[in-house]
Structure 1
Amino acid sequence: MILGDFNDLEVVREVDFGLYLTSDDGDLLLPRKYVEPGTQIGDVVRVFVYRDSEDRLIATNLEPFARVGQFAALTVRDVTSTGAFLDWGLEKDLLLPYRNQRRNLRPGERATVFVYLDDTSDRIVASAKWEWFLSSDPFPGKVGDAAELFVAEETDLGYKMLVDGTHQGLIYHNEVFKPLRLGDVHTGYIRAIRPDGKLDLSLQQLGYDEARAQADTLLEALRAAPDGRLPLGDKSLADDVYRRLGMSKKIFKKALGALYKQGLVDLAPEHTQLRG
């Protein structure tokens, strides 16, 4: 049986308050409120296993926001002398001990954490020092590759990202053209690989490949616009461009240029017209 993950366990007996499941670590309770109708002795059920408030093994069919070995952005429910307690989608909150915190947290705050099994106590706990749990191997990708980006932390320079769940990267503030929220996951791209192994990132494809991709988006918007005319041009504000098209002003201008070279649009300072 794996603590802090889902397991397929057999029902061995029934009591008034639930079902007992068998495992290599002894029988554990699946409380009545988590029992699916029709479940019988001998059935194998898929359950998440953790410890209750009295440190007893217990099962649930609820899906936690993170399992052992995963990163997540979780909300602080309470703070006590032991540490912060985080909402991770289960009946018992997840402990973030003081020793694992970067700073003191308050109820209602969100924090990026790594969930792990503490070897000493055999309890599932969280650590806000999530960088300690990243891979030390060189990043296996290359510049221009697409990657899954998890928004981990905002800094003075920009946003720290978890890249494919294994490495750390940064998107600078001047490269961000849409709201980013802690815990959001976006598709992004590798802009540079630094000598220290950290990554510079972008939310948009790089260079002319990016412009070609966004040119299709712009063309669709023009075709959907009344009379094939968009109130966006070379002199439009970056905020207006992003609000309408979801792309940066820089990429918008490259996309305009690509469509113009193909003879598909006429350009004006504050509007773009699709040719008939």
Structure 2
Amino acid sequence: MLNLGQFNSMTVAETLPFGFLLRNQHGDEAILKHDDPQHADIAPDDEIEVVIYEDKQGQNCASLTPPKVLCDNTAALTVTGVSKHGAFVDWGIEQDLFVPIAQQDRLMQVGLTYVVHVYYDDKYQKLQGSTKLHRFYPETDAYLKSGDAVTLLVTAKSELGFKVLIENRCLGLIFKSDVFMPIKPGQSLTGFIKQVREDGKLDVALQRDDETGRSSLHEQIIEDLLAHGGVSTLTDKSPADEINRRFGVSKGAYKKALGALFKQRRIIINKEFIKLISEEMQ
């Protein structure tokens, strides 16, 4: 059978006035239309990899250009239209993807972008989308541990902070207190597992908040001072955005690092500048 929303290996069985008839080894068929931007080099008997989808008439169609997201995966997609039954999102091929109202975490609006999971609905035998990610991803992961570097997709804003999809396999949360730069749903980021709670749920941070992370920031500050003749006007009173631009960390983390370096007698701190102790310059 054909795998909708996934790559399928097909053979060009016949040339048609409007495209090509494709057939797989099981006899399943799909149409590759001439308006596909990559159809020009196709010839009879060619074996090609295509993504299968259904058009408005329910006919199996093929695309040489992959969509923005394959079935069983998740991506940020923009709404192109809404009806009383649901919303339609642009997923990068001819036929927009349908997101039923029952699969919307909140009612979707035209022109806005949402994080959508693409899945095959066995009941209706159709590809559909959903913004209710908890139906498809767990909130725990047996292999992730504190300090692990991870890829993140910001899925939604909540009262506590931002919900994220971690490594495209489980859900987690970035608390407001750990957000030190502008982020928004649909944004891809790198981050770190801050902690694994007793119930197995995952808290995520955008910077390492352990001994390794703190040590790295300490050395970055020392290297920055050395590069600027031992003096910097970026103090613990500087704006958070300036600190983030220089070191990619929160103001709180920077202040802690300065405090640690001061206690180690590696720097001098005042309101206007920080300065390396002379021994560090040697």
Query: Structure 1-normalised TM-score?
Result: 0.88
How does 1:233-252 map onto structure 2 within 5 Å?
233-252=235-254
Q: Is the 8 A contact 2:140 2:202 kept in 1?
A: no
Look up the match of 1:19: 20
Structure 1, unaligned runs of 5 or more: none
Kindly provide the CA deviation profile for residues 13-57 of structure 1, in whole angstroms up to 9, marking residues without a partner as x: 212322221123522111113244332212111211111111111
Question: Which of 77, 89, 93 does residue 90 from structure 1 map onto?
Answer: 93
The alpha-carbon deviation at position 94 of structure 1 amounts to: 0.6
Give yes or no for contact 2:147–2:210 (8 Å, CA) kept in 1. Answer: no
SS in 1 for 2:40: coil
Gap change, CA 1:106 and 1:144, over 3 Å in 2 = same
Kindly report which structure 2 residues correspond to 1:84-233, keeping only aligned pairs within 5 A, or say none.
84-135=87-138, 138-219=141-222, 221-222=224-225, 225=228, 227=229, 229-233=231-235
Cα deviations by residue, 1:207-266 (Å, 9 ceiling, x for unpaired):
2211222345435544555x5543211332333312433211222234445666888755
Mapped contact 1:210–1:251 kept (Cα < 8 A): no
Check conservation: 1:234, 1:270, Cα contact below 8 A: no
Name the CA shift for 1:228/1:22 in 2 (closer, same or farther; >3 Å): farther
Moved more, 263-272 or 123-132: 263-272
Alignment check: 8 A CA contact 2:194 2:204 kept: yes
> How big is the shift at 1:137?
6.2
Q: Take 2:157 and 2:224, find their aligned partners in 1: how far apart are those partners?
A: 32
- Matches of 2:112 and 2:27, distance apart in 1: 36
Q: Deviations over 1:48-70 (max 9, x none)?
A: 11111111110112221211111
- Check conservation: 2:73, 2:117, Cα contact below 8 A: yes
Alignment partners' CA distance in 1, 2:100 and 2:156 = 19
Matches of 1:266 and 1:134, distance apart in 2: 49
Counterpart Cα distance in 1 of 2:222 and 2:10: 54
- Residue 190 of structure 1 deviates from its aligned partner by 1.5
Q: Which residue is equivalent to 1:268? A: 270
Contact residue 96 and residue 127 of structure 1 kept, 8 A? yes
How many residues align? The count is 275
Instruction: State the Cα deviation string for residues 165-190 of structure 1 (Å, max 9, x = none).
Output: 22221111111011112122222111
Displacement, 1:126? 0.8
CA contact (8 A) 1:236 1:270 kept: no
CA distance in 2, matches of 1:264, 1:25: 74
Distance 1:160 1:104 in 2: 18
Answer whether contact 2:139 2:201 (CA < 8 A) is retained.
no
Structure 1 position 198, deviation (Å) = 1.6
2:103–2:129 Cα contact (<8 Å) kept:
yes
Identity %: 35
Give, in whole Å, the separation in 2 of the partners of 1:44 and 1:93: 26
Q: Where does the alignment leave 5 or more consecutive residues of structure 2 unmatched?
A: none
TM-score normalized by structure 2?
0.87
Distance in 2 separating the partners of 1:223 and 1:29:
64
State how far apart, in whole Å, the 2-side matches of 1:236 and 1:142 are.
Answer: 33
Aligned mates of 1:216, 1:11 — CA distance in 2: 60
How far did residue 79 of structure 1 move? 0.6
State the SS of the aligned residue for 1:96.
strand
Q: Following the alignment from structure 2 to structure 1, what is the Cα–Cα distance between the partners of residues 162 and 28?
A: 45
Contact 1:230/1:273 (<8 A) preserved: yes
Does the 8 Å contact 1:211/1:252 carry over to 2? no
1:11/1:262 CA distance change after superposition, 3 Å: farther
Matched residue SS, 1:191: strand
Q: Helix, strand or coil: the match of 1:99?
A: helix
